[in-house]
Structure 1
Amino acid sequence: MAIRVAGALRVESKEPADASMQELERLNDRRALLKADHTRYLKQHPELTSILNDFLTEVLARKPDDVQAFARAHFSLRPIPGTVKGLRPLLIAGPSGVGKGTIIKRIFERFPDQLGFSVSHTTRKPRPGEVGGVHYHFSTVDGMKAAIGEGKFIEHAVVHGNYYGTSAEAVAQVSHAGKVCCLDIDIAGVKLVKQTALDPHYVFVAPPSFATLEARLRGRQTESEADILKRLSAAAAEMEYGAQPGAFDVVLVNDDLERAVDALCAQLRQWYPSLREAAAAAARGEGEGECTEEGGGGGGDT
């Protein structure tokens, strides 16, 4: 085809157009192949739809400010194929002096094969007898700051100049071992956990009254007056948060240790089938657990 431009005759070749058409055809063929490949892969892995739908549901329900950090936490906590599913972690919180540590120790004695603690990270130096990976994961400040920035920790805090934190991987390791991961976390940590995809069962251990808690703290005779007042101030704020509707799944009033432990055992049997089975086996004399079906009765849900 000839085209006259400004008095000159220019011959337009059809080759560029032909080349463009060939490139377009190749591109369309490539797209068709990719589409077929993707369709085949999705048919082979239908769980992808469920996984992505679950993630979108969690995002819309929680509306996190940092979606990328939320996504990292969400997918790092997903069960690995072949491991026990449905083992939601158990988070126990409560003010200093309420007896939380003793209660946790007792439920671990009753369910040693079903409960597990995650190994926390810290930047402090190891103390005599402490073993890395057993008592703590010992880290550098820079290393831990980087991991926190990457969203690898579900909660963290700075205590006396040292970083402490619970990583998503540490919690997942306990779950992958087929155990319920128990987390002993303060209220500041609870608030951080609520911003993640961890979704544990929340238990708040409360004293019968503030006066009772103060008497317990003073009765220990291990802190100075200034330390006691600091703990009481923190306890007042923690108890106020713990009393908020919906803040915790269960509020366990520790007015009597045995009743509190039995009540928590009863609640754990409702939440976790593996603990219910262990209690039934103990009742039949097949195991060593003490938390039988007759004990407790769920009285801790107050």
Structure 2
Amino acid sequence: MQWRGRRQSSNVEDRRGGGGMFGGSGRMGGPMRIPVRGAGGGLGITGIIILLIAAWIFGINPLELLSGGGSLGGGGGQTQSRTVDTKASDEMTQFVSTVLAETEDTWNGIFQAEGQTYKEPRMVLFSRQVQSACGTASSASGPFYCPNDQRVYLDTTFFQQLDQQFGASGDFAQAYVIAHEVGHHVQNLTGILPRFNQMRQSMSPEEANRMSVRVELQADCFAGVWAHFTDQKGLLESGDVEEALNAATQIGDDTLQKRSQGYVVPDSFNHGTSAQRRTWFQRGVQNGRLSDCDTFNNPV
């Protein structure tokens, strides 16, 4: 990915070297994660299709989603931190700041084209453990998005793990991870994520996992939409999409479970199989249409 010399986002906080005791969350409004263990408003015609489908599935008033009423997670629990000075930061900080800026450009454009305003998320860089409005988490949890404070949390050492442990190397594999978490932010702004977080409290673990898979695959598709427009800007290099597809393969639920325990438990899947993650990312890449990211009304 040709990222050097491009705009870097100012929506980056550096909390590395800080953090609190690890406690975990897993409650309503909890973080949406990339797994690393063995285990707003409407968007016009294209976005409305997705929102109406989600409204039908979740049994909510689509006008509430389209008006943005009550769709955003509550604030609170925000830790004071400094904004990264990208001129003095390390290359990885520059990279993630540039990728975040590219997602901002893409989603600002998509929302603006439909007469909507995109509220940009913030990215928090941390080391070892971090406190978010969704609770505390450790690096072992992997990158995650917290809807309660609209922040993406990332310990950049995860990228070393992605390369060395999972065999998913390349800068665009890393960019895919960031774009996936930003995809959850888009779901948050459109009301899909808050409704899921509310409804999963009354679901059985198996039902919640099945719905979580659909939510996660849509975030993969949204990451593909971003990749589509990034490619149109001439920023992708040969092999970049393959790097992302390989990353999607390596962090599929079935692949992770086979690697860690030698067998799979489908009822415990909550992100999707390797094949599913590849398929939905590719759908987003192919045409860059949000309407292609309908994981709620199509077989996954």
Select the structure that is richer in strand: 1
Query: If the TM-score is normalised by the length of the shorter chain, which range does it land in?
Result: under 0.3
Larger relative contact order, structure 1 or 2 (CA cutoff 8 Å, min sep 6): 2
Give TM-score scaled by structure 2 length.
0.26
